Amino acid sequence: RRWPETANIFQVHNINGDATSTFTAQYMSATTGLWSGSYVNTNGSMLAGGNINSNSSIAAAGDITAGGAVFANNWLRTYGATGWYSQTYGGGWYMSDPSWVRSYGDKNVYTGGQMQAGSIQSNGALTAAGRITGQEFVQINGVANMGWGCSPNGLVARAADGTLLSCVSGTWQGGGGYTQFQIVQGPGTNGMNNSLATCPAGWTMLSGGARIASNPYSFLPGYQSYPASATTWVAYTTDTKVWVVAYAFCAK
């Protein structure tokens, strides 16, 4: 049975048809009854004031918009380089290759709980607000030279032979203390000329001093002795009658 498409069907009791019947209308409304059929086709919108229940799959060629939460008893599956996306904040999760789950828009990931992984690889610095604890060994690949400058204090490195080094007072020092010592003597000089004693490369200057010689009538005017740098000790005097020699006490 067929009604003109410009008419409305208002259900008073039942509208029955056999298996080959077709009901066509621009607007159909059933407020309390049951509307059923093996195939329902509409070229426009379908509005339901209650729930829509399906015993099989629901296929949509376009978007599905929900005003509330979406619940699923099984997987939420996507195809292509897609995943979950936050329309409000512009971030989410997606996959673009078989290996990595990626943060969309390179968003930061935050959790107040734990993150566990087989291994963690950082392409930049790794910062921890608390203690770092390992159940195995710590491998340090940063190589430094003992006695060379470093910054900031507290850095840890290793020498080429594997000796553990720490940045102390701006220089790399061995964790077990110094094992070699020597005193370096500068040239003797007098009268406004500096005597400089410098530790060899790779050595640290621990302290320094000077030896002076004068005639009985000299009162050592303008005499100075102090570190000129981290590796050099300087001594001088303004009296041409005073002879001065600088010394540096070096270790590594």
- With a CB cutoff of 8 Å and minimum separation 6, the contacts of 159 are 143, 144, 145, 146, 165, 174
Instruction: Locate the domains of the chain by residue range.
Output: 136-176, 181-251
Cα 181–chain centre separation: 42
| pTM (whole model) above 0.85 | no
At 243 the pLDDT is 85
Task: Tell me what the pLDDT averaged over the chain comes to.
Answer: 83
Q: Are 210 and 245 in contact (CB under 8 A)?
A: yes
pLDDT tens digits for range 77-101: 999 999 999 999 999 999 999 999 9
- Rounded CA separation 162/158 (Å): 5
When pLDDT is cut at 50, 70 and 90, the band that residue 242 belongs to is: confident
- Rounded CA separation 245/252 (Å): 23
- pLDDT > 90 fraction of the chain, expressed in percent and rounded: 38
pLDDT tens digits for range 161-187: 888 899 998 998 876 667 788 999 999
> In this model, does residue 122 exceed pLDDT 80?
yes
Min mean pLDDT across 43-52, 86-95, 206-215 is at: 43-52
> In this model, does residue 153 exceed pLDDT 60?
yes
Write out the chain in H/E/C secondary structure: CCCCCCCEEECCCCCCCCCCCCCCCCEEECCCCCCCCCCCCCCCCCCCCCCCCCCCCCCCCCCCCCCCCCCCCCCCCCCCCCEEECCCCCCEEECCCCCCCEEECCCCCCCCCCCCCCCCCCCCCCCCCCCCCCCCCCCCCCECCCCCECCCCCCEEECCCCCEEEEECCEEEECCCCCCEEEEECCCECCCCCEEEECCCCCEEEEEEEEEECCCCCCCCCCEEEECCCCEEEEECCCCCCEEEEEEEEEC
Report residue 212 as tokens.
């002076």
For residues 15-24, average pLDDT:
58
> In this model, does residue 35 exceed pLDDT 70?
no
